[in-house]
Amino acid sequence: MLKISNHYVSKLVFALLLIEILILFGAGYMGVNIRFISDHSWSNNFQQFLPSACAFTLANTLGMSSLGMYQHNLNENLRSTFLRLMPSFLIALVVQLLVFYILPELYLGRGIMLLAFLLAGFGILSVRAIFFKLMESHMLVQKIVFLGAGELVKDCIEAAQNNFRNHKYDIVGAISVSGETSCLSLKTLINTNDSLQAVASRYNAKEIVVAVQNRRGGNLRIQELLDCKLRGIQVIDAASFFEREAGQIRLDCLQPSWLVFGTGFDQSLIRTLIKRSFDLLISAVFLPLLTPLMLATMLCIYIEDGGPVFYRQERVGKNGQPFMVLKFRSMRNGAEKAGMPQWATSNDSRVTRVGAIMRKFRIDELPQLINVFKGQMSFVGPRPERPFFVRQFSEEILFYNVRHSVKPGITGWAQVRYRYGASKEDAIQKLQYDLYYVKNNSLFLDILILIDTVRVVLFGSGT
């Protein structure tokens, strides 16, 4: 794994991204040369087309990223890749048409565009075929050993096997410790009295994950772990493993000292200024583009259920400060006549027909751009919750108020990684994603979340 601005990125996916960026740029270059092969003044003066080739590369990279082509399991077939590549090219084409409208000097021409897309498609499918073969081999497999055999180890193994970042692991086994009830099958356990370093050497393991819940009485085997680390074997704890593999900070293995002495939690003035500038820029770009959609939505709401078309509700913001969030009304008037806040459920009878469509594609969230302009919210951050639920969760869920150390957002890490929450259990799962964002928030992570939000909106996932 690579760590870019505190966010973990698969080395394999990062390498694939770089290679495909070169393919996309090369496709633009070859498109110009093939289209005007007889006109040497064009082919010998490609620098004038350099900005256009860069725009082609960026648009296609964004299109492929928004379709999840750098997040889904790379161990798939070419047909599945082709079916996702075509709509990503369509998204890229729409983006480029908008760019050409704003900056006509970047226009490449239909012939060049067609050639560039054909060359890019052939190159990307070829590279993906090679990567699929590599994923099937054992060249990229990393062997790991777990110290511990309880429920925590069981969850770690599941996270390693279901890793969406495409890092393949060979689970050598787990070494039980005294005083801990084993939750693993006998074939997973390593029964030995040898040292950890000897076990790692025997199985050629490159990493040891310490997942011991009871760390008293010498269960951690500190000296042996130090010996492993001095011999180049990576040693991490369960909290760091979940952070890296699942993009979560798990509450069941979290120690306050891990948060206090660990890295992250950037609340510096520079980070605040960058985030605020980013919010204003993105909002200024999206607001005029989305105005026609917002006007049409307002008309549909009024026709179906009358006014008002907007819905104002108190939410908890940064540092626990309340504010009024603005949304399009998706429920019928008087949805909470009893006065008691209620969870929105699947097929909720209170939701109007227009409201169901708005929720599916997150259109009801668009008026919150006003909250972003006012500085009450950020474009990316934990979703703001109602005071009633905040008070309840703060009493029942450890570290819940940590999410209020940053501004809430229209979209967020939990929103693109987890389904729509409608229970306390869902709130815990989302909190674990929110803690990851609060700890590792950066401009890089914000951009990744925005790209992933496009996929969520296009396919209505997470609702």
Residue 243, phi then psi, degrees to nearest 5: -60, -45
Encode the chain (463 residues) as per-residue pLDDT tens digits.
Answer: 788 888 888 888 888 999 999 999 999 888 877 766 555 555 555 566 788 888 899 999 999 998 888 875 566 778 888 988 999 999 999 999 888 888 888 887 888 889 999 999 999 999 999 888 877 776 677 899 999 888 899 988 888 877 644 567 888 999 988 878 888 887 889 988 899 999 999 999 999 999 987 776 667 889 999 999 999 999 999 999 999 888 999 998 888 888 888 888 888 899 999 999 999 998 888 888 899 999 999 999 999 888 899 999 999 999 999 999 999 998 887 666 655 666 666 666 788 899 888 988 889 999 999 999 999 999 999 999 999 999 999 999 989 999 999 999 999 999 998 877 667 888 899 999 999 999 999 999 999 999 988 888 877 665 5
Residue 28, phi then psi, degrees to nearest 5: -65, -40
User: Which pLDDT belongs to residue 300?
Assistant: 94
pTM summary value: 0.87
What span, in angstroms and rounded, lies between the C-alpha atoms of 95 and 357? Answer: 24
Q: Are 404 and 320 in contact (CB under 8 A)?
A: yes
Residue 292, phi then psi, degrees to nearest 5: -60, -40
**Which sign, positive or negative, has the C-alpha torsion 348, 351, 352, 356?**
negative
DSSP string, 77-116: -HHHHHHHHHHHHHHHHHHHHHHHHH-GGG---HHHHHHH
Checking 105-112 for CB contacts under 8 A at 24+ apart, the result is 105/51, 106/51, 106/52, 106/55, 107/52, 108/28, 108/31, 108/32, 108/49, 108/52, 108/56, 109/35, 111/35, 112/28, 112/31, 112/32, 112/35
Strand partners, 147: 175, 210
For 393-427, b/e burial (b = at least 16 CB within 10 A) is beeeeebbebbbebbbbbbbbbbbbbeebeeeeeb
Which DSSP letter does residue 56 get? Answer: H
Contacts of 77 by beta carbon, 8 Å cutoff, 6+ apart:
132
Closest by CA to 30, choosing from 53, 54, 64, 47, is 53
Which DSSP letter does residue 199 get? Answer: H
Checking 65-68 for CB contacts under 8 A at 24+ apart, the result is 65/451, 65/452, 66/91, 66/451, 66/452, 66/454, 66/455, 66/458, 67/91, 67/455, 68/452, 68/455
